[in-house]
Amino acid sequence: MIVRKLAEARNSDRHIESPDGNWNSTRLLLKNDNMGFSFHITTIHAGADFQMHYQNHLEAVYCISGKGEVETLDDGKVYPIEPGTVYILDQHDRHRLHAESEMVMACVFNPPLNGKEVHNAEGAYELEAPACE
């Protein structure tokens, strides 16, 4: 069994600050744990409004706290996000996320992230990013 603490992981190289200043993510469970998925606690900063397109991954996002909205860009549908909402990108959906207040999200990725991924120009994660220690 593996046991980790968010407070400790936040102070390690598992904590990633997005270069665009929109979010940070503490990656609690990664590819080298051999679980077939990765699990992160992500904070989206208040006022952030940005696009993503996880072409190489499936992602589920559960809102723990905060308020905002997610839009699927191919059809323009907007979904409010509040604590208890999960959105599931089962179609590699191009999407826009807007945080009205700071949002804390639990995120699961399949395939699992290596650890150091940040968004590329398309808002995707490359499959060959460096791993955490």
Could you list the residues that contact ligand 9YT (CB under 6 A)?
Answer: 23, 25, 40, 42, 52, 59, 61, 97, 105, 107
CB of 42 to ligand 9YT, least distance (A): 4
DSSP for 26-43, please give it. Answer: EEEE-GGG-SSSEEEEEE
**Closest CB to ligand 9YT among 8 and 86?**
86
Q: What is the largest CA-CA distance in the chain?
A: 43
Spatial CB neighbours of 2, under 8 Å, sequence gap ≥ 6: 29, 33
CB of 109 to ligand 9YT, least distance (A): 7
The candidate with the shortest Cα–Cα distance to 43, out of 13, 14, 22, is 22
CB of 75 to ligand 9YT, least distance (A): 19
**Closest CB to ligand 9YT among 1 and 91?**
91
CA distance 126 to 129: 6
**Closest CB to ligand 9YT among 7 and 22?**
22
Q: How many CA within 13 A on the CB side of residue 97?
A: 26
**Closest CB to ligand 9YT among 58 and 107?**
107
CB of 82 to ligand 9YT, least distance (A): 15
